[in-house]
Amino acid sequence: MKSIYYCLCFSVLLFSSILTSQAQTISLSGKVIYDGQGLAAASVTVYRSGKVSTGTVTNHDGAFSISLSAQPDSLKVSMIGYSTRVIRNINWFQSSPFTIELLLQPLELSAIEVKPLSALEIVEQTIQHLPGSQLQEDFETVGFYREIIKDREHYFSVAEALFTVQFFPGKEDFKLKLDRGRTSEEVSYTKLFEDFHPGGGPQRAIKNCFLLDIPPFLRSKELRKYEFKRLPVTYYDDRRLYVISFDQKDGIKEALEKGKLFIDAEDFAVVKYEAASSPKGINYIKHLSGSDKFFAELLNIDLKRKAWKRTVDFIRTGDKYLLNHADMVFSITYKQPKKKLDLDLTISTEILINPQRTAINDPISKKEEWQRNNLVKNLPNAFDSAWWGSASIIQPTQSINEVVKAINEKNGTTAIHGQPTSWLKLNEAGLLSWQNGDSLALIPTQRSRWDNEHTGPLLYEKVTGDFTIETRLSVTTTNPGHAYPDKGFQQCGIMIRSANSEKENYLSIGLGTSGNKQTKLIINKTTNYKSRPKTEPAEPPELFLKMEKKGNMITAFKKLNEKDQWILIDSYSIEWGNDPMNTGLFGFAWFTGNGPGMYPDVKGIFTQTKIIKQTL
Sequence-distant (≥ 6) Cβ neighbours of residue 260 within 8 angstroms? 231, 243, 244, 245, 246, 273, 274
Host H or E run for residue 540: none
* DSSP per position, 120-131: HHHHHHHHHHHH
CA distance 38 to 31: 7
Strands 431-436 and 581-590: unpaired
CA distance 84 to 44: 10
Residue of 404, 431, 362 whose CA lies nearest to 606: 431
The ranges assigned to domains in the chain are 2-101, 116-377, 417-613
Amino acid 314 reads F
CA distance 179 to 176: 9
pLDDT at 18: 37
| Residue pair 493/509 in contact by the 8 Å Cβ criterion | yes
Buried b / exposed e along 550-582 (16+ C-beta atoms within 10 A): eeeebbbbbbeeeeeeeeebeebebebbeeebb
CA distance 245 to 231: 7
Strands 26-34 and 98-101: parallel
pLDDT at 519: 86
pLDDT tens figures, 499-518: 987 888 999 999 999 888 78
CA distance 176 to 161: 11
At the second CATH level, the architecture of 417-613 is Sandwich (2.60)
CA distance 525 to 536: 15
Classified as helix, coil or strand, 203 is helix
pLDDT tens figures, 288-332: 777 677 767 777 888 888 999 999 999 888 888 999 899 899 998
Amino acid 442 reads L
| One-letter-per-residue 3-state SS of 390-426 | HHCCCCCCHHHHHHHHHHHHHHCCCCCCCCCCCCEEE
Q: What is the pTM of this model?
A: 0.74
Running DSSP on this structure, what letter comes out for residue 108?
Answer: B
| Residue pair 536/524 in contact by the 8 Å Cβ criterion | no
Residues of the chain with pLDDT under 50: 1-23, 111, 190, 389-392
Q: What is the CA radius of gyration of the chain?
A: 27
pLDDT at 420: 66
pLDDT at 188: 55
410 vs 155, 181, 193, 406, 597, CA distance in Å? 10, 22, 19, 6, 22
306 vs 2, 198, 284, 285, 331, CA distance in Å? 15, 12, 11, 8, 5
CATH topology for the 2-101 domain: Immunoglobulin-like (2.60.40)
pLDDT at 381: 62
CA distance 418 to 414: 13
Classified as helix, coil or strand, 498 is strand
Buried b / exposed e along 103-123 (16+ C-beta atoms within 10 A): eebeeeebeeeeeebebbebb
Buried b / exposed e along 48-65 (16+ C-beta atoms within 10 A): beeeebbbbbbbbbbbbb
| Residue pair 520/513 in contact by the 8 Å Cβ criterion | yes
| Residue pair 66/14 in contact by the 8 Å Cβ criterion | yes
CA distance 105 to 324: 22
